[in-house]
Structure 1
Amino acid sequence: MNYHFDFSFLAGSASALLGGLKVTIELAVAANIMGLVLGFFLCLLVMSRWTIVRWPAQLFVEFFRCTPALLQIVWFFYCIPMMVDIFIDPIVMGVLALGLNLTAFNAEAYRAGVQAVPKEHLDASVALGLRPWQRTVYVVLPQALRSAMPVLMTNGIGSLQQSALVAIVAVADLMYVGKSLATEAYRPLETYSVIALIYFALSLPVAKLVNVVARRQDTAVQR
């Protein structure tokens, strides 16, 4: 292999990369907040005893879990503006597409956590006279969140990585900026290697934290 690596051209592009990194982090953080909040409410709808509530929620979950994330992003960016006939900021569309996708996956994580809540705890909350919303907020949510935390954090890492897909619809995230630099400098090997290392550096601490949380949960269960 006679290829000579040259990363010097990236020194003058640091501000562009930082700008793209800022957009990527904004997308990932906003999508995770959306997924964490809406995911729990969607979980409650999926577990509802009312068929008219449960079926649409299940259809929502299955749609986002069984279609490619790239297709979802393209559909949101090109189809929704055509349907409502208004311009929507690309960042908002990116958050919406990524957040709804994450909502569907988090709903399943929450559902497993809710099903793990001991029936005795629910019976005790009823005996104490707690209202349904109080049982949900003070009894079910804390325990479901604790049980589902490793999966929710793993889904969050996946959302960060999936945010790179918005580059295909020209959102100036880290991947889009990297692709532009690689094209301009004819240095794809160096550029994409640096981009990969940045994503790796963002994801690794969270992945390590997931392992710590999972080990603590295993230890707590064994006691």
Structure 2
Amino acid sequence: MDYILDLGAVTRNMDQLWQGLGVTLLLTLAANAIGIVAGFGLALLVLNRLAIIRIPAMLFVEFFRCTPALIQIVWFFYCVPMLFNVFLDPITMGILALGLNLTAFNAEAYRAAIQGVPREHLDAGIALGLSPAQRILNIVLPQALRNSVPVLLTNGIGIFQQSALVAIVGVADLMYQGKTLATETYRPIETFTVVALIYLAISFPVSQFVGWLERRRGYAVR
């Protein structure tokens, strides 16, 4: 094999990758903000006793959980403008696609956490005269959020990695910039290795933190 590695071709153009990383982090943070907030609301709808409310919410969850994220992203970018005459900038479309995907997965995490809230706590809220909204905000939400944090963080890492899929529709994220740089320098091995290391450098500490949280919760239960 005559191929000679030249990391300098990448390190000399790191500004391009940092710009892409900035877009990736923006997509990730915005999608997580949507997923954390909307996911809880969606979980409440899934647990609603009224079928007219519960069934559409369940269908929403199953659609986003059972179809590839790539298909969802492509659908948002090409079908939404055609069907609804809605034209948004690529980053906003990417945030919406990733955010709705994450909302569905977070809703399942919240649902399990909500069902784990002791009935006695809700009964105590009723005895104190709290309204349903007050019971949700003061009793259900704090416990559900605390119990689902490890899963929410894991889902957040997943959406950070899946954000690379927006490169296929021309969003200038880290993956897109890496692909562009690899084409310009004819150095795909070095470029995609560096890109992979950047993803790893961000994902690995978060995954270790999730593991630490789970171990801590395990000790607390004991």
The interval holding the TM-score normalised by the smaller chain is over 0.9
Kindly indicate whether residue 169 of structure 2 is the aligned counterpart of residue 169 of structure 1.
yes
Measure, in 1, the Cα distance between the counterparts of 2:10 and 2:220.
48
SS for the counterpart of 2:49 is: coil
Could you tell me the TM-score, scaled by structure 1's length? 0.97
SS for the counterpart of 2:88 is: coil
Give the AA of the match of 2:125: S
SS for the counterpart of 2:41 is: helix
Report deviation, 1:29: 0.3
Measure, in 2, the Cα distance between the counterparts of 1:11 and 1:149.
36
Report deviation, 1:122: 0.9
Report deviation, 1:183: 1.1
Report deviation, 1:212: 1.3
Q: 5 Å matches for 1:178-197?
A: 178-197=178-197
- Counterpart for residue 103 of structure 2: 103
Kindly indicate whether residue 12 of structure 2 is the aligned counterpart of residue 21 of structure 1.
no
How many equivalent residue pairs? 222
Kindly provide the CA deviation profile for residues 156-199 of structure 1, in whole angstroms up to 9, marking residues without a partner as x.
00000000000000100000000011111111100000000000
Q: Mark the CA change 1:84 to 1:209 in structure 2 (over 3 Å): closer, same or farther.
A: same
Measure, in 1, the Cα distance between the counterparts of 2:193 and 2:74.
26
Per mean C-alpha deviation after superposition, the further-off stretch among 141-150 and 57-66 is 141-150
Q: 5 Å matches for 1:11-50?
A: 11-50=11-50
Q: CA RMSD for the aligned pairs?
A: 0.9
Could you tell me the TM-score, scaled by structure 2's length? 0.98
Measure, in 2, the Cα distance between the counterparts of 1:166 and 1:73.
7
Q: 5 Å matches for 1:69-218?
A: 69-218=69-218
Q: 5 Å matches for 1:49-64?
A: 49-64=49-64
Runs of 4+ in 1 over 4 A off after TM superposition: none
Report deviation, 1:104: 0.1
Kindly provide the CA deviation profile for residues 139-169 of structure 1, in whole angstroms up to 9, marking residues without a partner as x.
0011111111111100000000000000000
Kindly provide the CA deviation profile for residues 79-98 of structure 1, in whole angstroms up to 9, marking residues without a partner as x.
10112224211000000000
SS for the counterpart of 2:13 is: helix
Measure, in 2, the Cα distance between the counterparts of 1:124 and 1:109.
24
In structure 1, runs of 5+ residues without a counterpart are none
Quote the sequence identity (%): 63
Measure, in 2, the Cα distance between the counterparts of 1:132 and 1:65.
29
SS for the counterpart of 2:48 is: coil
